[in-house]
A and B are shown apart, each in its own frame.
Chain A
Amino acid sequence: MKSKFLLIASIITFIVVACSKIMPPEPDPEAVLAGPVEDLSPQQMANHIKGDEEFSRVFGVSDGLGPIFVAASCESCHAGDGKGHPSTTLTRFGKYNGPTWDPMISEGGPQLQHFSISGYPAEQVPSGIFGMTRLVAPAVTGLGYLEAIEDAAILALADAADANADGISGVPSYIAPPNYFIAKYHHQPVAGKYIGRFGKKAGAIDLTQQTANAYLNDIGITSDFNMQDLYNVQTGNNTGDNVPDPEVSASTVHNVAFYMRTLKLPPRRNAKDAKVLQGEQIFLNIGCGGCHTPTLTTGNSDIAALSNKVIHPYTDLLLHDMGNELNDNYTEGSAQPAEWRTPPLWGIGLTKDSQGGQMFLLHDGRAKTFEEAINYHGGESSGSRTAFQNLTQSEKEALIKFLESL
C-alpha cells in the first residue's frame, strides 16, 4: 500500500514541480511571422490585442457574414499572419471600355464573391470580361513599416523612363482616395490621387482603406466606412443579409488596421551563413535588387516604434511590367495589366508554414518553388531571369538559401 501511496505522491509532485517543463514552450521567434512590434506602449499593446481578436474573429450569418463573400475571417486568408493558400484566392475581373478599364461593378465586379449564405445565390463570373486574375493573400507582417515609408522615398526609386538604362522602370500607382482617407505629412498627391502601396496592384493607399475594403469585399461585412452590403447584382434581387448595417464599427476597422501596422518585422534566419551571404550577393549581382529593393528607411510615424527605422523589405513599392508570363489581362488603378507592384520578399522563407507545408508563390500561387517563380519573371525582370538561368547549380542553391533565410 505504501508503495502505491508513494507512486501517487510522486506523480503529483512530478506534475507540480515539472509544471513549467511540461508546458509547450514559445516557438522560436525567428520561426514565426506573428507577433507585435517591439517597444509598443501598454496602451498600444492593448490596441494590438484588440485588433488581433478582431483579425481572428469568424463571422457567421448572425454576425452579418455575406450575403456573398470569399472568407469568414481575416485569418482564414492570412493564417498565422502569413501568405494565403490557393483555396482562399480572390478572383477579380474586368474589361476595357475603349481605353478605359471597367471594373464591371454593375455586373458584380471587380471581385467575385463565390460563396454565399444559405438560400442566397453566389456570384458567377459574368460574360464579356477582358481579363481575370486570381490573387493569393499576402503576408501581413511588417505592413506598418511599409505604410510609414515616405512618398518621397518611393518616388526616389521610380524610373518611369528607365533613365539609368537598366531595363527596369518602376512607376508609382496613383489611386483616388476614399472619402474617409486622411493624408499624412509625407503624402504627395498628383491630381488628387495618392500613391498606392498595398495590394498586388498597389490599389490601396493605407491600411485603413485596405482593411475596410477587405471587410466588405472579402467577408461581406459593412462598416462605418462602407455602409452598403454587397449583394449579388446578377441574381440577388437587390437583397442582402438581415443584419443591420454597419456590421462593424469604425473602431473595429481601426483596431484591425492598427494590429497590422504593429506586426513585427518578418524575422531573418541564418543571415550570417556563408552560403546565405553568397546568395545575397548573387541576388544583387543579377539585378533582383533593382525591384526588390533591399533597404528602405521609414519616416516619422504616429507609432514611435515605427519611426525612422532601417528596414529590409525587398520591395520598392512600385509597379513593374512583368511581361506576358504574369499578365492576366486584369488591372486596378493606374497599373497596366502586365504591371504588378513588387511584392516584399521579407518573410518569404516562412511561406510554407502558412500555406500548409508547401509553397504557392507569385500572385496566384502558381509557382511551387523559388526557381519556378523566378522563371515566371518576364518583362522588366527578363534580364535577371536570364542571369539566374545562367548561374551554376551551386550559385542557384546559394540564391535559394538566401531567399529561404528571409
Chain B
Amino acid sequence: MKIVLHNKFTLLLTCLFLIFTQQVKAQSDTLKADKHPKDSSQITTQQGAIYNRPFINLASTGRLSLAIGGYIEGNTNYFVTDGIKEGFSMQLRRTTIFIYSTVARRIKFLSEIEFENGTKEINIEFAALDFEINPALNFRGGIIMSPIGAFNVNHDGPRWEFIDRPLVTTQIIPSTLSEAGFGFHGRFFGHNKVFTYDAYLVNGLQDGIILNAEGRTFLQEGKHPDRFEKDNNGEPSFVSRVAFNHRKFAEVGLSFYGGAYNSYRINGIKVDDRRTLGVYVVDFYSVIKKKLNIKGELVYVNVEIPQSVKPFLGNRQWGGYVDLIYPVLKRTVLKYENTVVNLNLRLEAVDYNVGEFSETGQKIFDEIKAVVGGISIRPSGNTVLRANYRYHWTRDILGNPSVRTAGIQVGFSSYF
C-alpha cells in the first residue's frame, strides 16, 4: 500500500514537474513569438486549430493589442407638418462598436459595427486592414467608407453639433456608404500643411438608384446588400478624395465617385445600355479667429438615365450645407470641467431633380430647403448634449406650395 502511495506521490510530482516545465517552455515560446510572431498557417494539430489563434496566444500573455470602443446617440423628436402633429417620440439612433487591433507594426485593423434604431438595421460600416508602406503610401482593403466628401468618413455622432445629419449627406450622398474595395491612402507633410489623398476601387452602387420606391433618382437606394459580395456589373467604381489642410486656416477637400451602376451585363452578356454616375463634392472646414467653426459640403451628381424614363427621373442633383458653430461658454459647469457651450446654425438645401419640364418649360422642383438652429453642450470633448429646432420647406416636383415641417429635438451622443 505504501509502495502504491509512494508511486502515486512520485507520479504526482512527475506530473507537476512536467506541467511546470511545459509552462516555462510555453512562456518562452510566446516571448519568442512576440519577437517573431508564429506563422498562423502552421499548426501542430488540426484539432488545436481553433485555439491556436494569434489573439488567444497574445491575450494569454497580456500582450494583446486590441481596443474596443464605440459611440451611442439618441434623441427625442417632436415634429409638425402643416399643422399635423406627429406627436412626441424617442429614438436611439445608433449604437456603434469599434474594434481596433495593431496586428503588427504598420499593419492595423479597424472595424465599425453599427446598430441603427435598436437592431432594426445592423451594418458593418467599416472593416479594413491598413498596411503602411510609408506615411505617404498605405494600402487599405476590406469594407471601407468611401471618401465622398468629408462627412461620409467623419460621421461619428459625438463629432457633430446637430442631431440630424446634413440632408445632403443622406438625400444626395448615400451616407454612410460602406463598400467592399481596396486602394491607397496617404499624407504628405509640410510646415503647418498636410496634403492627404484617398483612392479606392469599390464594387459601386447598383440599379436601385432609379425606379425605386422613392419615385426619384436616389443614390441611397443603390446600396444593394449584395455589394459586399460581388459587383453587379463586374466593373468597379472609383472613389477618391484629395484634401489640403493648413493648420492655421482651413481644410478643403475635393472628391469624386463614379462608375457604371446598372447591371448592364449578366454573366458577361450585355443586356442593357451601360449607365454611369458621377458624384462631385467640395468640402471645407475652417475656424475663424479661433472661435467660429465653419464647415460644409457642396455636392453635384450626374446620373445617366434610360431614355425610357428620362422625363420622369432627374439626371442631375445637387445639395449642400453650411454649419456655423460658435462657442459661447467654456467653464466648469456642475463640476464638469471645461464644459463648452456652442450656439449653432445650419443652412441646407437639396435639389433632387435639376432641369425643366420639356412639356411646359417650367422648372422642375423636387427640393428641400432647411434651416436648423441649436445649442450644444459638451461636458467633455467626447460627449455632446444637443437641442435643435428644424424648419423645412419641401416642394414637390411641380413646385406647388411648400409643405412646411418644423420640429424640436433634444439628444445626446457620446463616445465610450
Contacts and interface: CB of A to CB of B under 8 A. Distances in A.
A8 interface: yes
A63 B211 CA distance: 10
Interface stretch (B135-143, B291-299, B403-411): B403-411
Interface residues on B, range: 35 or more
Contacts of B341: 4, 8
A178 interface: no
Among B358, B360, B398, residue most surrounded by chain A Cβ atoms (within 10 Å):
B398
Given A7-B328, A11-B375, A115-B309, A60 B387 contact: no
B397 to A, nearest CB: 8
B398 A356 contact: yes
A58 interface: yes
Contacts of B391: 22, 24
A72 B214 CA distance: 9
Interface in A79-124: 79-80, 85-87, 89, 114-122
B359 interface: yes
A116 B310 CA distance: 10
B26 to A, nearest CB: 56
B331 to A, nearest CB: 7
Among B81, B309, B387, B396, residue most surrounded by chain A Cβ atoms (within 10 Å):
B309
B135 to A, nearest CB: 42
A19 B408 contact: yes
Contact of A76 (B215, B358, B401): B215
Contacts of B306: 116, 118
A239 B121 CA distance: 35
A58 B215 CA distance: 6
Given A58-B214, A358-B362, A4 B398 contact: no
B216 to A, nearest CB: 8
A24 B80 contact: yes
Interface string B306-349: 11110110000000000000001101000000000101000000
Contacts of A357: 399-400
B316 to A, nearest CB: 17
Contacts, number: 129
A15 B271 contact: no
Contact of A24 (B81, B328, B375): B81
Contact of B398 (A5, A120, A354): A354
B208 A60 contact: yes
A65 B309 CA distance: 12
A87 B359 contact: yes
B342 to A, nearest CB: 10
A241 to B, nearest CB: 10
Interface string A251-272: 0000000000000000000000
A65 B341 CA distance: 50
A354 B215 CA distance: 18
A15 B389 CA distance: 8
Among A19, A22, A85, A356, residue most surrounded by chain B Cβ atoms (within 10 Å):
A356
B398 A355 contact: yes
A292 to B, nearest CB: 25
A26 interface: yes
Interface residues of A, number: 50
A3 to B, nearest CB: 10
A12 B387 CA distance: 9
A404 to B, nearest CB: 16
A91 to B, nearest CB: 12
A42 interface: no
B207 interface: yes
A80 B394 CA distance: 13
B50 interface: no
B229 interface: no
B84 A26 contact: yes
A12 B341 CA distance: 13
Interface in B369-416: 375, 387, 389, 391, 396-401, 404-406, 408
Nearest to A114: B308
A239 to B, nearest CB: 13
B82 interface: yes
A293 interface: no
Interface string A350-363: 00011111101000
A1 B329 contact: yes
A54 B213 CA distance: 12
A25 B403 CA distance: 11
B164 interface: no
Contact of B312 (A11, A15, A115): A115
Interface string A1-37: 1001101100110010001001111110000000000
B401 A87 contact: no
A387 interface: no
A368 B391 CA distance: 34
A15 B357 contact: no
A4 B400 contact: no
Nearest to A113: B308
Nearest to B266: A119
B272 A118 contact: yes
Closest 6 CB pairs of A and B: A26-B83, A58-B215, A356-B398, A24-B404, A23-B80, A122-B308
29 contacts: A5-B329, A7-B328, A8-B328, A11-B375, A12-B375, A12-B387, A15-B387, A22-B406, A24-B83, A26-B83, A26-B84, A57-B213, A60-B211, A60-B212, A60-B214, A60-B221, A62-B212, A62-B213, A63-B213, A76-B215, A87-B311, A87-B398, A118-B272, A118-B306, A120-B308, A122-B308, A353-B400, A354-B400, A357-B399
Given A87-B360, A360-B360, 18 more contacts: A1-B331, A15-B408, A24-B80, A25-B82, A60-B211, A85-B360, A86-B359, A86-B360, A87-B311, A116-B309, A119-B272, A121-B308, A122-B307, A353-B400, A353-B401, A356-B360, A356-B399, A356-B400
Interface of B: 78, 80-85, 207-208, 210-215, 221, 262, 271-272, 306-309, 311-312, 328-329, 331, 341, 343, 357-360, 362, 365, 375, 387, 389, 391, 396-401, 404-406, 408
